[in-house]
């Protein structure tokens, strides 16, 4: 198969892939809502389709971050990169706040509140770390 070199055809191809992804996601959501309606939310959350939906959306978000970092650099004047310890502190604060809220609503299971707080901390730290290193790499490449 011949590689496409025309930019217009590449954009059309990417739009087609996006439409297929949206249709696939809507189909998974419809299946999960039907399962939740018929069998209960617990069964829908335990379904492998739920795992696939969450993993594809997380992957899409992390891939979109690379594009966002490039757009931010070109649209705005380059701001000084926030120190990494600030990213860790922000992530820790978000995890602590979410964990406290979870503990407030469910005092029967304090371990689950700890787990929820740790999961939020790790998720925020991973996204902040990726953006930090992408911006730092861009600024180092621009300086050279």
Q: Which residue ranges make up each domain of the chain?
A: 1-76, 79-144
CB 95 within 8 A of CB 118: yes
Average pLDDT over residues 18-31: 89
> How many CB atoms neighbour CB 45 within 10 A?
13
Two tokens at 80?
Answer: 């000084």
**Residue-level pLDDT at 80:** 67
Two tokens at 92?
Answer: 């820790």
Average pLDDT over residues 1-11: 75
pLDDT tens for residues 96-124?
998 888 888 877 778 888 888 898 899 88
**Residue-level pLDDT at 30:** 92
Contacts of 92 by beta carbon, 8 Å cutoff, 6+ apart: 121
> How many CB atoms neighbour CB 49 within 10 A?
14
Average pLDDT over residues 15-34: 89
Average pLDDT over residues 45-53: 85
Q: According to DSSP H, which parts of 1-144 are helical?
A: 7-39, 41-45, 48-75, 84-105, 110-143
pTM of the shown model:
0.54
More confident residue, 1 or 90: 90
pLDDT tens for residues 52-109?
888 888 788 777 776 665 555 555 555 666 788 888 898 999 999 988 888 888 777 7
More confident residue, 74 or 39: 39
Contacts of 91 by beta carbon, 8 Å cutoff, 6+ apart: 121, 124, 125, 128
**Residue-level pLDDT at 93:** 92
- Cα–Cα distance measured from residue 45 to residue 36, given in angstroms and rounded to the nearest whole number: 8
The dihedral formed by the CA atoms of 91, 97, 102 and 105, expressed in degrees to the nearest 10? -170
């Amino acid at each position: 198969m011949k590689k496409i070199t025309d930019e217009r055809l590449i954009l059309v191809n990417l739009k087609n892939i996006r439409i297929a992804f949206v249709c696939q996601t809507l189909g998974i959501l419809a299946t999960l809502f039907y399962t939740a309606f018929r069998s209960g939310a617990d069964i829908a959350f335990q379904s492998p389709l739920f795992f696939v939906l969450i993993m594809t959306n997380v992957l899409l978000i992390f891939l979109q971050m690379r594009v966002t970092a490039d757009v931010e650099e070109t649209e705005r004047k380059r701001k000084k990169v926030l120190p990494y310890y600030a990213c860790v502190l922000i992530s820790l604060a978000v995890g602590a706040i979410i964990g406290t809220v979870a503990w407030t609503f469910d005092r029967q299971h304090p371990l689950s509140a700890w787990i929820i707080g740790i999961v939020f901390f790790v998720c925020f730290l991973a996204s902040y770390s990726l953006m930090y290193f992408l911006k730092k790499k861009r600024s180092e490449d621009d300086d050279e």
